[in-house]
Chain A
């Protein structure tokens, strides 16, 4: 039995009478790649927002693995959850626009940073050492995504696909246990999508990370996911391996059927 990294129990949230997420119970295991699919407005992004703490649930609980124990994080703000190992990207890209690519990555390393403002003000050798180390680490992450060439470009001058990649690099820089990707391939062409698929697989293996992926591109999710959750009208409609899901009559009727 593999270790559970994150667990949500009967999560529910309402927005002015509309139940966007309705009693969702999910679990993510160590080093697992989970796909989260469902039609537009099913509540996928909202579920991410609940798990990462951006929204407070109306009811239900979220737990995360903390030193081999599942501890509740309902009361924790997003930044504390991030420090416990939750990282994410955003469906509507949220980069630090006025900063360069590498600065975007460096910013993500702030919480783990052991540098003190006083060292920075006095520009002690320790400060330069620290900065050099951080830059090196940021560059090596950018390297994985083939973005070292654009390290000093302003983030908002990058093409769309690269901005999405940068969001992933930035999330990785927080050295998370679990990574939530919200439609990382949106707006990419087939070739970029194929490259991204490989990269996501590569990160999972290389960093031994748990990844939860929202994606509308069925080929992509079915290819990479080990397990899937299907959401519809805020409820979990089905869960299982890609094969199970593809053969699940309820899913075919409610979701895949509608598509084609």
Chain B
């Protein structure tokens, strides 16, 4: 690791730390109340799920409408395990089990279906998600349509914040590596990628499985935070909620996803004041944002501390001189 990288990493760490301090200070002065902290947690959870979906849709270019199903797997794993083992150990284990299960389901589903193109894949993943939900609704051990209540809570804002930061680090580091480049190559031109010896199915499946794992993680955090789960929480609409974050932020832009998750979380708080008009206004905002920013807020570009802090000349030469 050279000096530039250390500097770069440190500046991101500073930014994360500054946000933590800001939240702490604002709670101390009662600018953020319990309701505000709830909002922060929910934003963090949506963010984790949305980054997972952006990996699938944005990076690997596979249109999935099935995110809710994978969130459901994580949520129910946590609900069941934490109810049985109501300790922090049980909670951590439940997140792990949920992520594993979700990853395995994604693997089994992904290998055959990721051959499908565009909207056909979308409808197949929607189908998988609905099948998962209907099974949950009919199984005895998941308590059917009523769901599970009084789940012990182990979730607070620092935990979710930490998890969200970790998610971003893992995904960004992966995207900026040979694996990530291969995933993007398959998105950009599948035939060319194959002609270069890239196993296209493998890289699509990697993105799909990792996306599903993150969805499960978000689901697990949510189950323990809200302290209840029911099949109704994981309908098609849940997938759409996450999809909207990804598209509004800019497909393929992690920074966009982060900013949009926060912005929509805040918008939701503001709209609470409008009572039953809330969803109508939200709908109008959605249409207007798309009409004016069809590429999403960030397009495909990323917010770069490196460019802001170190690249005063604004040229790109830095990157390749590193290789020499």
Q: B72 → chain A, closest Cβ, in Å?
A: 26
Q: Can you report 22 A-B residue pairs in the complex whose CB atoms are below 8 A from each other? A: A79-B200, A82-B196, A96-B189, A96-B193, A98-B184, A98-B300, A99-B184, A102-B320, A107-B185, A107-B198, A110-B181, A110-B198, A111-B198, A117-B177, A120-B174, A120-B176, A121-B170, A121-B174, A122-B173, A125-B1, A132-B323, A135-B323
Residues of A within 8 A of B322 (CB): 132, 135
A113 touches B323 (CB 8 A): no
- Given A52-B195, A111-B198, A127-B177, 13 extra CB contacts under 8 A: A79-B194, A98-B184, A99-B188, A106-B181, A107-B198, A108-B197, A109-B178, A123-B1, A128-B1, A134-B178, A135-B322, A152-B317, A152-B320
With most chain B CB atoms within 10 A of its CB, the pick from A94, A115, A174 is A94
B182 touches A107 (CB 8 A): yes
A126 CB to nearest B CB, Å: 11
A173: chain B residues at CB < 8 Å are: 196
Across the interface, do A94 and B189 meet the contact criterion of CB distance under 8 Å?
yes
Q: Check A145 for interface membership: any CB of B closer than 8 A.
A: no
Min CB distance A109 to B, Å, is: 8
Q: With A120-B179, A121-B174 as known contacts, state yes or no: A111 contacts B323, CB within 8 Å.
A: no
Q: Are B198 and A90 in contact (CB under 8 A)?
A: no
Shortest distance in angstroms between A116's beta carbon and chain B's nearest beta carbon?
9
List, in ascending order, chain A residues with CB within 8 A of B170's CB.
121
Chain B residues with CB under 8 Å of A120's CB are 173-174, 176-180
In the assembled complex, the CB of B234 is this many whole angstroms from the nearest CB of chain A, namely 28
Does B108 sit within 8 A of A, measured CB to CB? no
Q: Is A131 at the interface (CB under 8 A from chain B)?
A: yes
Q: Could you tell me the distance between the alpha carbons of A115 and B317 in the complex, rounded to whole angstroms?
A: 25
Total contacting residues, chain B, CB less than 8 A: 37
Q: Are A151 and B320 in contact (CB under 8 A)?
A: yes
Q: Is the CB of A170 within 8 A of B320?
A: no
B316 within 8 A of A: yes
In the complex, residue of chain B having the shortest beta-carbon distance to the beta carbon of A52: B195
With a CB–CB cut-off of 8 A, which chain B residues contact A152? 316-317, 319-320
Q: Is B24 an interface residue (CB 8 A)?
A: no
Instruction: Count chain B CB atoms within 10 A of each CB in A107, A123, A136, A139 and give the residue with the most.
Output: A107
Chain B residues 169-211 with CB under 8 Å of chain A are: 169-170, 173-174, 176-182, 184-185, 188-189, 191-200, 206
Give the contacts of B282-324 with A (CB-CB under 8 A): 300, 316-317, 319-320, 322-324
Q: How far is the CB of B237 from chain A (nearest CB, A)?
A: 31
Report A-chain residues with C-beta under 8 Å of the C-beta of B195. Answer: 52, 54, 78-79, 82, 87-88, 90, 94, 171
Interface of A is mostly: helix
CA distance A121 to B5 in the complex (A): 14
Interface size class of A (residues with CB under 8 A): 35 or more
- Are A97 and B189 closer than 8 Å at their CB atoms? yes
Give the 6 A-B residue pairs with the shortest CB-CB distance, closest first.
Answer: A135-B323, A120-B177, A111-B197, A82-B197, A94-B192, A152-B316
Q: Which residue of B lies closest to A153 (CB)?
A: B316
A135-B323, A152-B320 in contact; A82/B194 too (CB < 8 A)? yes
Q: Binary interface profile of B, 43-70, with partner A (CB < 8 Å = 1, else 0)?
A: 0000000000000000000000000000
Partner of A174, one of B5, B181, B191, B197: B197
Asked if B320 contacts A135 (CB within 8 A), the reply is: yes
CB nearest to B319 among chain A residues: A152
A113 to B1, CA, bound (A): 20
Interface residue from A103, A122, A136 paired with B181 (Cβ < 8 Å): A103
Q: What does the 1/0 interface line of A131-143 toward B look like (CB < 8 Å)? A: 1101110110000
Contact with A along B76-112 (1 / 0, CB 8 A): 0000000000000000000000000000000000000
- Determine the residue in chain B with the shortest Cβ distance to A82: B197
Nearest opposing residue in chain B for A173, CB measure:
B196
Q: Which residue of B lies closest to A137 (CB)?
A: B323
C-alpha spacing A52/B191, complex, angstroms: 11
Least distance between A162 CB and chain B CB atoms (Å)? 16
A125: chain B residues at CB < 8 Å are 1
The answer to whether B177 touches A115 (Cβ under 8 A) is yes
Residue of A87, A96, A134, A151 most packed against chain B (CB within 10 A): A96
Residues of A within 8 A of B185 (CB): 96, 99, 107, 110
A96 touches which of B5, B188, B197 (Cβ 8 Å): B188
**Who on chain A is nearest to B202 by CB?**
A79
Check B196–A170 contact: CB distance below 8 A.
yes
User: What is the minimal beta-carbon distance from A142 to any residue of chain B, in angstroms?
Assistant: 10
Q: Does A202 contact B (CB under 8 A)?
A: no
Q: Is the CB of B196 within 8 A of A174?
A: yes
Q: Which residues of A contact B173 (CB under 8 A)?
A: 120-123
Q: How far is the CB of B13 from chain A (nearest CB, A)?
A: 13
CB closest residue in chain B, given A107: B185
Per-position 1/0 for B1-43, Cβ under 8 A of A: 1100100000000000000000000000000000000000000
Nearest B residue to A139, CB-CB: B323
A95 at the interface (CB under 8 A from B): yes
A107 touches B196 (CB 8 A): yes
A77 at the interface (CB under 8 A from B): yes
Question: What is the bound-complex CA distance between A99 and B320, given in angstroms?
Answer: 14
Do B184 and A117 have beta carbons less than 8 Å apart?
Answer: no
B316 touches A117 (CB 8 A): no
In the bound complex, CA of A81 to CA of B197 (Å):
7
